[in-house]
């Protein structure tokens, strides 16, 4: 696909900052949009390039200033960063200072013993590759993507510190780290003079493991939290209530979401939640996002979208973040049933 044939030069909407809410990331100087965009899906080489471009433009036009990537988002691995790089060069170069771009390393990426996990070798090589693929000089946030049981935490953290010292990332974060390891990581980094800015855990109405101590630890340490898969990959929307629509993730790209995961029991809960959302005048996706943002410890909610329309729907969730006691009790009852 020839990018020059896509559309004319992009000019971001002058009104882009009018409606988005920005929230402070822990006790740092950084503000994140309440809704951020993740490029895990829909930005691979097999995905529709014009649609990917429209998603990024629409998001930024809505004040979504944070785009989240990782070395191995695709398919194939690296493709999302390449797609982003092509679009960045055409549409977003002039807006670089208005954007927070993140990437990660720590899952399998290339062959051999250095293509994975948490060694200095893996992290430094990986960020160099990511910067090249995206065609940018630095990322705003670089994450260790998951804990590595075999590499000393000091090595992984000092690699993150080194990346900041080298100017390849402005801030660092961790993802999927349990509470105690997060505290240790934060302390090691602090001693070296680098702040652990942010944690990226999975958090949604159907996966609340972060409530068992992690969120509290982040609050204590002044570390921000950005919740990934807030819609449980699409289950927490109304899309699967009447079967499996063509083009939905469970049908189109089921690498990580299998039909079997969308059980009758889950759909029964989704149905009941959908009724509460309707009573609140929200889509279920909006209510699921608002439910996360009601907690001040959640800096941002990191959604994936397969169309610009979904982002337009999602950003409206900030119009109603208040839940009555009765609504919260009813939601708890459904989730615990
Ligand atoms: N750190 C980690 O280990 C990790 C792991 C996973 C994800 N992440 C990050 O989190 C981001 C988001 O993850 P995710 O894609 O699983 O998030 P998600 O927001 O839970 O799910 C995204 C899917 O939900 C559906 N959707 C979104 N908005 C909708 C709406 N308004 N109405 C109906 N359906 C809607 C779309 O499904 P359809 O495609 O079916 O339309 C979309 O592809 C990723 O891109 C990545 O940046 C990080």
Nearest Cα residue to atom 11 of ligand 1 = 38
| Whole-number average pLDDT of the chain | 96
- Delimit the domains of the chain by residue range: 21-234+295-318
Q: According to DSSP H, which parts of the chain are helical? A: 49-61, 79-87, 120-134, 153-165, 179-192, 214-221, 249-252, 264-280, 284-293, 308-315, 325-336
> Residue range 37-53: average pLDDT?
97
Q: Is the pLDDT of residue 79 over 60?
A: yes
Q: What percent of the chain has pLDDT over 90?
A: 96
CATH fold for the domain made of 21-234+295-318: TIM Barrel (3.20.20)
> Residue range 253-265: average pLDDT?
91
pLDDT computed for residue 7 by the predictor: 61
Q: pTM to 2 decimals? A: 0.97
| 3-class secondary-structure state, position 32 | strand
Confidence category of residue 6, pLDDT binned at 50, 70, 90: low
Confidence category of residue 8, pLDDT binned at 50, 70, 90: confident
**Distance of CA 113 from the midpoint of ligand 1 (Å):** 30
Q: For residue range 159-196, what is the model confidence (pLDDT) as tens digits? A: 999 999 999 999 999 999 999 999 999 999 999 999 99
Q: Is the pLDDT of residue 265 over 90?
A: yes
**Closest atom, ligand 1, to C-alpha of 200:** 1
Q: Is 103 in the pocket of ligand 1 (CB under 6 A)?
A: no
pLDDT computed for residue 4 by the predictor: 46
| 3-class secondary-structure state, position 210 | helix
Q: Is 171 in the pocket of ligand 1 (CB under 6 A)?
A: no
**Distance of CA 307 from the midpoint of ligand 1 (Å):** 11
């Amino acid at each position: 696909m020839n990018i020059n044939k896509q559309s004319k030069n992009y000019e971001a909407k002058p009104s882009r900052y009018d409606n988005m809410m920005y929230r402070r990331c822990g006790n740092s100087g950084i503000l994140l949009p309440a809704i951020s965009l993740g490029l895990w899906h829909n930005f691979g080489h097999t995905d529709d390039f014009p649609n990917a471009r429209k998603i990024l433009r629409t998001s930024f036009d809505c004040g979504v200033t944070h785009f989240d990537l990782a070395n191995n988002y695709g398919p194939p691995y690296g493709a999302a960063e390449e797609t982003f790089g092509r679009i960045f060069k055409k549409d977003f170069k002039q807006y670089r200072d208005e954007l927070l771009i993140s990437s990660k390393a720590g899952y399998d990426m290339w062959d051999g013993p250095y293509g994975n996990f948490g060694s200095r070798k893996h992290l430094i090589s990986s960020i160099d590759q990511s910067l090249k693929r995206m065609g940018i000089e630095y990322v705003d946030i670089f994450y260790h993507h998951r804990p590595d049981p075999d590499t000393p935490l000091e090595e992984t953290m000092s690699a993150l510190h080194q990346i900041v010292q080298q100017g390849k990332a402005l801030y660092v974060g961790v993802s999927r780290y349990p509470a105690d390891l997060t505290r240790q990581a934060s302390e090691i980094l602090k001693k070296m003079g680098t702040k652990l800015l942010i944690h990226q855990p999975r958090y949604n109405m159907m996966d609340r493991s972060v409530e068992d101590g992690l969120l509290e630890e982040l609050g204590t340490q002044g570390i921000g939290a950005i919740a990934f898969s807030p819609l449980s990959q699409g289950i927490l929307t109304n899309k699967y209530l009447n079967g499996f629509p063509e083009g939905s993730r469970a049908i189109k790209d089921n690498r990580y979401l299998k039909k079997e995961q969308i059980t009758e029991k889950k759909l029964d809960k989704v149905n009941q939640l959908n009724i509460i959302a309707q009573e609140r005048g929200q889509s279920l996706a909006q209510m699921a996002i608002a439910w996360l943002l009601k907690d001040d410890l959640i800096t941002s909610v990191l959604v994936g979208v397969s169309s610009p329309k979904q982002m337009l729907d999602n950003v409206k969730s900030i119009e109603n973040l208040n839940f009555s006691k009765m609504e919260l009790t009813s939601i708890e009852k459904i989730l615990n049933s």
